[in-house]
C-alpha cells in the first residue's frame, strides 16, 4: 500500500459499517458482540463477512511487513504484487456492500463522523507525532490534508459514503465510476490533497460493492469456484514473478497518474481497466476461499478497524528502529517468521480487550456534539411506550 520513498499516505486498507446494515451485515455498534447474537436491527451477523474482513486485514499487515524485505527476494516481491492486486479491492468491495443503505439520515451522518472522520483526525495526528518521538524527527509536520500512511483509507471512505446517494440514483453507476477512475489516472494535476488520486482510482470497487447483492457472494463461494481459484492464484504468482523486473509496483497503489510513473497518459486508463479486471478475478477467488461458517477468528472480523489503524505503529516502529535490517530476516526463514509475527500481531489487535481500550477514539459516542433528531426521539418514545405496555401486560 505504500512506497517507502514517500512520507505520506502510502498504505491501503479498511473499515467498519457506517449505517444500518444490509441483510447479514453487522451493525457498527455491535462489533464486540458474538457472531451468533442478533444486532439491534434483529439481523444476525453473517460469519462470511467477518471472516473476509479478518483475512483481508491479515493480508494487509503481512503485506506491510513484507515491504522492507521484498527488495531482496523476487519470490517475495511476486507474492507482494499478487496480494496487493486484490486485498484492498476486496476490502473496498465489502465496505461498499456495507454502505448500501447509507443516506443522509442524521443518525447515519453522526455514525460516519464518529466512526470515520474522528478516527481519521486522531490517527492523522498520532502517526506524525509518533514519528517525531520514535524516529527523533521533531520537524515532522502534521497535516489533515495529506493522509499519512494508513489514514488515506479513512479519508476515502468518508468521501465514498457521502457520495453513496449519487451512485444509487444514477442509471449506470459502475461504468461511470470506471470512467472517472480512468480520467483521474491521466490527470496528474489532481494533486495530493486527501490522496484524491486513490479516492478516485479505487472508486469503482466501492461502487461495485454498492451494486452487488448477497447472492453474488454465494455464486463465488461454490465448490467449483474454490477449485478453480487454485490454478488462478498459481498463474497470478507466476505472472507476478515474471513482472517483477518489468512493472512498477506503484501501479497497484493507485496513488499516482500515469505521467507521474513515467508512462504516457493513455497508459493510465488502460492500466485502470486491466487492473480492475485482474483484481476482480483474484478478489472472487479470495472470497471463494473465505469460510462461510463460524470459526475461531470470526469474532475478530468485528475489530478490523482496530487492527488496521494500530498495527501501523508497530510496523513503523520497526522501520524507524531498524528491526528489518537484520540479515536473518532477509532469508526465507526470516521472511516466513516476519509473516507469522505480523499475522499474530494484527490478530491480537483485533481482539475484544484492545477494542475496549481504544473504543473512545475509534468509536466515540459524542452525544454531546450532536442535536437530537426528532425522528429518532419519536422512535425512542415509541420503543419506551411498547416496553411499558409489555411490562403492564406481564404484570
Full DSSP string of 5-51: TSSSS---------SSPPTT---GGGTTS-TTSBPTTSPBPPHHHHH
Dihedral sign for Cα atoms in the order 324, 330, 333, 336: positive
Label residue 51 exposed, middle or buried (CB < 10 Å: 0-12, 13-18, 19+): buried
Q: How many Å apart are CA 151 and CA 160, to the nearest integer?
A: 15
Extract the C-alpha cell encoding 288.
471463494
What's the confidence (pLDDT) of residue 9? Answer: 41
What's the confidence (pLDDT) of residue 72? Answer: 80
Residue 223: Cβ within 10 Å count: 8
Label residue 138 exposed, middle or buried (CB < 10 Å: 0-12, 13-18, 19+): exposed
- Residues pairing with 179 in the sheet: none
What's the confidence (pLDDT) of residue 48? Answer: 94
- Residues pairing with 38 in the sheet: 44
Extract the C-alpha cell encoding 26.
453487522
What's the confidence (pLDDT) of residue 371? Answer: 80
Label residue 241 exposed, middle or buried (CB < 10 Å: 0-12, 13-18, 19+): middle
What's the confidence (pLDDT) of residue 43? Answer: 57
- Residues pairing with 44 in the sheet: 38
What's the confidence (pLDDT) of residue 11? Answer: 40
Q: How many Å apart are CA 181 and CA 191, to the nearest integer?
A: 15
pTM (predicted TM-score) = 0.84
What averages of pLDDT result for each successive group of 10 residues across the chain (395 residues)? 41 42 38 38 74 95 93 90 94 94 89 94 95 90 89 95 95 96 94 90 97 92 94 95 91 93 95 96 96 93 94 93 89 93 96 94 86 73 81 72
Helices H, strands E: what count in the chain? Answer: 16, 0
What's the confidence (pLDDT) of residue 395? Answer: 63
What's the confidence (pLDDT) of residue 386? Answer: 81
Amino acid at each position: 500500500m505504500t512506497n517507502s520513498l514517500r512520507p505520506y499516505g502510502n498504505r491501503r486498507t479498511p473499515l467498519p459499517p457506517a449505517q444500518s446494515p444490509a441483510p447479514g451485515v453487522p451493525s457498527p455498534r455491535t462489533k464486540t458482540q458474538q457472531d451468533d447474537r442478533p444486532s439491534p436491527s434483529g439481523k444476525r451477523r453473517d460469519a462470511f463477512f467477518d471472516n473476509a474482513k479478518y483475512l483481508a486485514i491479515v493480508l494487509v499487515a503481512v503485506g506491510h511487513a513484507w515491504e522492507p524485505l521484498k527488495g531482496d527476494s523476487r519470490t517475495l516481491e511476486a507474492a507482494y504484487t499478487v496480494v496487493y492486486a486484490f486485498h484492498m479491492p476486496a476490502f473496498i468491495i465489502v465496505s461498499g456492500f456495507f454502505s448500501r443503505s447509507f443516506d443522509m439520515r442524521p443518525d447515519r451522518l453522526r455514525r460516519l463522523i464518529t466512526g470515520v472522520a474522528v478516527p481519521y483526525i486522531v490517527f492523522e495526528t498520532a502517526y506524525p507525532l509518533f514519528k517525531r518521538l520514535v524516529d527523533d524527527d521533531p520537524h515532522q509536520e502534521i497535516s489533515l490534508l495529506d493522509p499519512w500512511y494508513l489514514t488515506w483509507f479513512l479519508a476515502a471512505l468518508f468521501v465514498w459514503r457521502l457520495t453513496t446517494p449519487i451512485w444509487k440514483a444514477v442509471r449506470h453507476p459502475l461504468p461511470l465510476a470506471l470512467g472517472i477512475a480512468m480520467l483521474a489516472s491521466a490527470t496528474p494535476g489532481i494533486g495530493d490533497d486527501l490522496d484524491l488520486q486513490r479516492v478516485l482510482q479505487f472508486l469503482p470497487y466501492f461502487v461495485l460493492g454498492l451494486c452487488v447483492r448477497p447472492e453474488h457472494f454465494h455464486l463465488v463461494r461454490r465448490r467449483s469456484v474454490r477449485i478453480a481459484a487454485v490454478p488462478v492464484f498459481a498463474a497470478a504468482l507466476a505472472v507476478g514473478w515474471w513482472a517483477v523486473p518489468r512493472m512498477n509496483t506503484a501501479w497497484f497503489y493507485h496513488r499516482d497518474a500515469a505521467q507521474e510513473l513515467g508512462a504516457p497518459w493513455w497508459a493510465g486508463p488502460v492500466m485502470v481497466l486491466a487492473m480492475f479486471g485482474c483484481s476482480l478475478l483474484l478478489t472472487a477467488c479470495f472470497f471463494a476461499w473465505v469460510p462461510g461458517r463460524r470459526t475461531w477468528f470470526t469474532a475478530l472480523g468485528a475489530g478490523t478497524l482496530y487492527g488496521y489503524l494500530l498495527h501501523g505503529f508497530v510496523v513503523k516502529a520497526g522501520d524507524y528502529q531498524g528491526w528489518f535490517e537484520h540479515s536473518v530476516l532477509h532469508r526465507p526463514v526470516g521472511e516466513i517468521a516476519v509473516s507469522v509475527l505480523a499475522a499474530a500481531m494484527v490478530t491480537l489487535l483485533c481482539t475484544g480487550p484492545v477494542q475496549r481500550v481504544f473504543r473512545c477514539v475509534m468509536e466515540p459516542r459524542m452525544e454531546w456534539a450532536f442535536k437530537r433528531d426528532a425522528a429518532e426521539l419519536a422512535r425512542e418514545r415509541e420503543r419506551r411506550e411498547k416496553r411499558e405496555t409489555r411490562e403492564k401486560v406481564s404484570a
